[in-house]
Amino acid sequence: MGIGILSKALVTGGAGFIGSHLVEALVRRGEAVVVVDNLSSGRAENLRAASKIGSLELVRMDLKNPSHLLEILNRVSIVYHFAANPEVRLGEVDPAVHFQENLLVTFNLLEAMRKSGGAKTIVFASTSTVYGEAKQLPTREDYGPLVPISTYGATKLGCESLVSSYAYSHGVKALILRLGNCVGARSGHGVIPDFIKKLKENPTELEILGDGSQTKSYVHISDCVNAVFMTFDAFLRTPLRVDVYNVSSVDRVSVQRIGEIVAEELRLEGVRMRFTGGVDGGRGWFGDVKQMHLSVEKLRRLGWTPKLNSEGAVRAAAKELLANET
């Protein structure tokens, strides 16, 4: 598609899981949106519903080597930076992917924003993995030091630093959102799609990576998108150059319970859970954070309350993913 329409918001990675839901919500709010995506993991069909609602434009572009990014930024005011390679485990075998898709892409985007005459506000999708193995649970935004244990977490933390530096050095206003495990329709990676695939292949047994003691927070995509808008609206009313919010649910759920929920939604009984034992003290993979529980008190002070807890988010996501298969 061309790039001729007048736009207000740019969403990088807007054809991906979280990005496409954000785009749909933006156009419902009356925003004109440009999506930039290289479609390596995102899909154009994820934007089908949004394209029928309002003003939407998809530009296929690889931000590792952008061509006319500055032209786009000159006619938008807000950037939602959600482009990333979502597979955390990939850092174990190919760390360069996360360096390029996270740090290099974010640097290229910020440099273009610095040179542009339009976009000076960025909402950056970071991750709970920047905290590493936090000693305080639930973990607040002011927890430190931040010691990531995965390449993915390390590069996302590096991106946060770049975003902050451009805010203070080049007049960019930046909102950083540290997302927990976001789940729902259109998600193509993570534990729920993985369990669905495994149980369809073998309905009697479910292989679970790790020793089974992993517990993490899960947030449904609808609650996540609502949090994006609520934090952004609040942020614009402040004089802050940079602010940080955790976005997650109020509790956590074990990987074993997720397996049970997925089996229940598949109407399977008597499924045997087989734990691999894992690596490095029972982790699912090297760099896997075993216990993650973000504090969302700062977000809740804005009036945000998730409609679903972790178990509810997992169950809703399983239902949505299975419904979309039929």
- Residue 184 CB neighbour total at 10 angstroms: 25
Residues near 224 by beta carbon (within 8 Å), at least 6 away in sequence:
18, 21, 179, 182, 247
Q: Which residues on adjacent β-strands are paired with residue 35? A: 11, 58
Q: Are 57 and 1 in contact (CB under 8 A)?
A: yes
Which pLDDT belongs to residue 1? 39
Q: Which two tokens stand for residue 236?
A: 């614009």
User: First vs last Cα of the chain: how many Å apart?
Assistant: 30
Residues of the chain with pLDDT under 50: 1-6
> Could you give the CA distance from residue 247 to residue 223 in angstroms, rounded to a whole number?
9
- Residues that are catalytic: 152
Domains of the chain: 9-182+218-247 (3.40.50.720), 185-217+250-292+308-325 (3.90.25.10)
Beta strands in the chain (DSSP E): 9-12, 33-37, 56-60, 78-81, 121-127, 173-179, 181-183, 205-208, 215-216, 218-220, 242-247, 253-254, 272-275, 291-292
Residue 4: partners with Cβ closer than 8 Å, 6 or more residues away: none
3-state helix, strand, coil in the chain (%, to 5): 40, 20, 40
pLDDT given at position 4: 43
Please tell me the distance from the alpha carbon of residue 156 to that of residue 161, in angstroms, as a whole number. Answer: 9
Rounded to an integer, what distance in angstroms lies between the CA atom of residue 123 and that of residue 52?
25
* pLDDT value of residue 326: 55
- Contact criterion met (CB below 8 Å) for 173 and 121: yes
* Rounded distance between C-alpha atoms, residue 52 and residue 120, angstroms: 29
* Beta pairing partners, 9: 33, 78
pTM of the model: 0.94
| pLDDT recorded at residue 278 | 86
pLDDT (0 to 100) of residue 92? 63
